Chain A
Amino acid sequence: MIQRLGILGLALPSAAALLEACGPGGATQQATQPTKDLTGDLTIWGWGASLDALKLVDADFSAAYPKITLKYVVRPPADTYRNIQLAITAGAGAPDISVIEDSHISQYVQLGALADITDWVKPYVPKIVTYKWTWISKSNRYYAMPWDPGPVAVFYRRDIFQKAGVDPASIQTWEDFYQAATTIKQKTGSFMWQQAKARNDGRLFETLLWQQGTGYIDPKGNVILDKDPKVQQTLEFIGRFWKDNLAADQEPWTDPWYKSQSNGSAATVIDAVWMGTFFKSFIAPKAAGSWGVFMLPVWQAGGSRASNDGGSVLGIFEQSSQKLAAWAYVQFHLGRDQSQLQIYQKTDIFPSLKSSFQDPFFQEGDPYFGDQKVRSMFADIAAKIPDAGIYSKDYQQMSSLTTPEIQKYALGKQSAQQALANAAGLIRERTHRS
């Protein structure tokens, strides 16, 4: 890699020099914009679903920038992050561009691993769903380009609901959801959802906190896991499903997990819009029509029905020696309605450019979901995602300190209150927060 970059460095004096000229300090003058003859050999990291999505735009990209070649490195998200972290700490080996989830981006921004691309992305700030900018800015500078938001809803199995005689429209509150879970278990034997015990990853817990505008920390950065009563109520709500045997115990993102979604032993999956990609591509590609979507139930009347899970950005690494070419790629893939829609039409990776929501495609039904108009529903949700203290520069640590405590709670080794107190204590200790 180093050698290869060295050679490229020689081949690309113009790009590097141009970049220097407009560099981060770049004063007020206009940033250099990519041109057609721009050369480059870009390495892009990400996981299967995200890279496959980006590749959909590559044909057009190659036509626009014929001299830029692309190399994709596919790894599961956890491996991608580990490799990013190793590369950051090693000071070498980072790609030019990587897909990074909103949950992880803040840490890399704070570490100074990503290139300051403020001058390039500034024009996009008003054009993109606002909350997406939260984690990628530091002292009014921007370090990545937003891609998809992660509006969350309930994916449910129409056949199972029908068999149990449960009307999804009747599920207004989480209490209704719980009642439906009991009915479904009695009538069909299916679990309402999947919640691993010893291998719980805390994602649903976070999603439900996000819906209520709470989380690990408050806006000042103080830990509120053990202070906000809503947090404990949420965990105890999840706990009821474990206690009453209404949750399937499968490790997320493993074969048993997929299997129980496709064979109907789980009646709902609460996840973001991108989950559709996984259903359609490999979990249940032939199950068109059997899945439907409804909005999250509320915690109390009039409460929020929107939450976020995941969502990602494209970051250009400070280590990259071809930042201008990298920007050409990022801009082409994410900065144009056409590209974002192209991706969304094929993959369920949601656009963040507000102008793209005007496309008629949003008003059409999705055949996989029985022609339900899920796209406008997710656009609605995306616009209403509350601010919450889930993602931050310490997200990885907070989440990895909290999940074992949730696991212990799931296994009945401690109470919800204890779990949260322990987690909060560890987080305060390790991230030096109050």
Chain B
Amino acid sequence: MLGELRRRIRHPPDKAGGVARPIEREQRPMSVRQRWRWILWRHRWPLIFVSPFFVLFAIFNVYPIIFSFWLSLHDWAGLGPMQFVGLANYAELSHDSIFWNSMLNAAFLFFIYVPVMTFLAVVLAAVLNSGFLKLQGLWRALIFLPNITSMVAAGYTFRLILDKDSGALNHALALLHISAVPWLDDVWWARISLGLLMIWAWLGYNTVIMLAGLQTIPKELVEAAKVDGATAIQAFRQITVPLLRPVIVFSVTLSIIGTFSMFTEPYILTRGGPIRATETPVIEIFNSTFTDIRFGYAAAESYIYFAIIVVITLLQFWTVSRSDPAR
């Protein structure tokens, strides 16, 4: 990276600024400082254009991350003096069952809804792409609609629908002579209910992504396979899905990050319960901050949470690249 940087500095590509000015380079030798100044000046426009992002990034992301580490070494109730405690918060965190339980919950949730949702999205995209259906735009819009909804509104609506005693769903099940399901009052049902809300909210989004992916796959390939005697389902499994792989990977990556940063949905729908079964890491960090009012501890939790997400993301990239058939 540095080598490339140096090469570019020595031989600035001529496209910069559009008009090449070879004469300047021929001038008398410059000191390092002058040279840097010249380079900055020469590239001032792109640098100015990207600077808002990097300035804001430094102030509102990089600095907080550093500050957060400092905070995590303290005991602080948000008001009054901070007390330096070294790594005590991390030591406590290492065996804090509530925090690790929240991580586990996120993992459970991921496995409850992401496979189902991804499968549905791929199939639905294929159906919409097949040209079987009229009014394609209408179906796509209806399926996408939940994604534009405030999760606070959706969460409360689901709470109403899923209520054990007076919810619409259990009333409907009663008509079918199925006994009431404790949608929000049982550890696993609550997780499933949360998964249902997530699928409801994100199926359309993922379908749209898959659909776009499908549209990049040449129809001839599938047709050719069918000419060779493959059934539609075989062609789909053996041609379409592998070609769609990068898009599926992208969507699953988004879902991983999405699941681990879930807050509003469990906060409104299940309130983290019952028995902390749907308490996500972000709810736990929020509670440490604003209920227990332990800023230092919350900062330590944020750090470990961050580390875990980085590890999971790397792990996922590694698995994906290892099993990539194109490799």
Contact = CB atoms under 8 A, between A and B. Distances in A.
Task: Answer whether A and B touch in the complex at a CB cut-off of 8 Å.
Answer: yes
A257 to B, nearest CB: 10
A111 interface: yes
A88 B78 contact: yes
B293 to A, nearest CB: 6
A255 B295 CA distance: 36
Nearest to A260: B165
Given A89-B290, A426-B97, A429-B96, 4 more contacts: A198-B186, A198-B187, A396-B291, A404-B273
A401 B292 CA distance: 11
Given A85-B291, A89-B289, A198-B187, A112 B79 contact: yes
B276 interface: yes
B12 interface: no
B297 to A, nearest CB: 9
Interface residues of A, number: 28
Interface string B260-303: 00000000000001111000000000000111110100000000
A400 B292 CA distance: 10
Nearest to A425: B97
Interface string B150-191: 000000000000001110000000000000001001110000
A407 interface: yes
A366 interface: no
Contact of A89 (B95, B182, B274, B293): B293
A397 B292 contact: yes
B79 A111 contact: yes
A384 interface: no
A85 B293 contact: yes
Interface of A: 82, 85-86, 88-89, 91, 107, 111-113, 197-199, 250-251, 255-256, 396-397, 400-401, 404, 407-408, 411, 426, 429-430
A306 B317 CA distance: 63
B80 interface: yes
Contact of A198 (B165, B166, B185, B293): B185
Interface of B: 77-80, 92, 95-98, 164-166, 182, 185-187, 273-276, 289-293, 295
B286 to A, nearest CB: 10
Given A85-B293, A404-B276, A430-B292, A198 B182 contact: yes
Contacts of B293: 85, 88-89, 107, 111
Contacts of B77: 111
Contact of B185 (A107, A251, A400, A430): A251
A197 B275 CA distance: 10
A407 B274 CA distance: 8
A225 B235 CA distance: 64
A255 B166 contact: yes
Contacts, number: 64
Shortest 9 CB-CB distances between A and B: which pairs? Answer: A198-B274, A256-B165, A89-B78, A198-B185, A404-B275, A407-B275, A404-B276, A85-B290, A397-B292
A88 B79 contact: yes
B290 A86 contact: yes
21 contacts: A85-B291, A89-B78, A89-B290, A89-B293, A198-B186, A198-B187, A198-B274, A198-B275, A199-B185, A251-B185, A256-B165, A396-B291, A396-B292, A397-B291, A404-B275, A407-B274, A411-B275, A429-B92, A429-B95, A429-B96, A430-B292
Nearest to A259: B165
B237 to A, nearest CB: 42
Contacts of A88: 78-79, 293
Nearest to A431: B292
B192 to A, nearest CB: 14
Given A88-B78, A112-B79, A198 B292 contact: no
B177 to A, nearest CB: 21
B274 A199 contact: yes
Contacts of A251: 185
A91 B79 CA distance: 9
A205 to B, nearest CB: 15
Contacts of A112: 79-80
A319 to B, nearest CB: 11
B92, B165, B166: most-surrounded residue (chain A CB, <10 A): B165
Contacts of A407: 273-275
Contacts of B187: 198
A5 to B, nearest CB: 19
Contacts of B98: 401, 426
A87 to B, nearest CB: 10
Contacts of A86: 290
A407 B295 CA distance: 28
Nearest to B97: A426
B273 A198 contact: yes
A397 B185 CA distance: 22
A60 B98 CA distance: 50
Contacts of A426: 97-98
A404 B190 CA distance: 15
Contact of B290 (A82, A111, A113, A400): A82
Nearest to A249: B185
Nearest to A107: B293
Contacts of A82: 290-291
Contacts of B166: 255-256
B319 to A, nearest CB: 34
Contacts of B182: 198
B270 to A, nearest CB: 10
Contact of A408 (B78, B95, B165, B275): B275
A418 B280 CA distance: 24
Contacts of A408: 275
A112 to B, nearest CB: 6
B98 to A, nearest CB: 7
B282 to A, nearest CB: 16
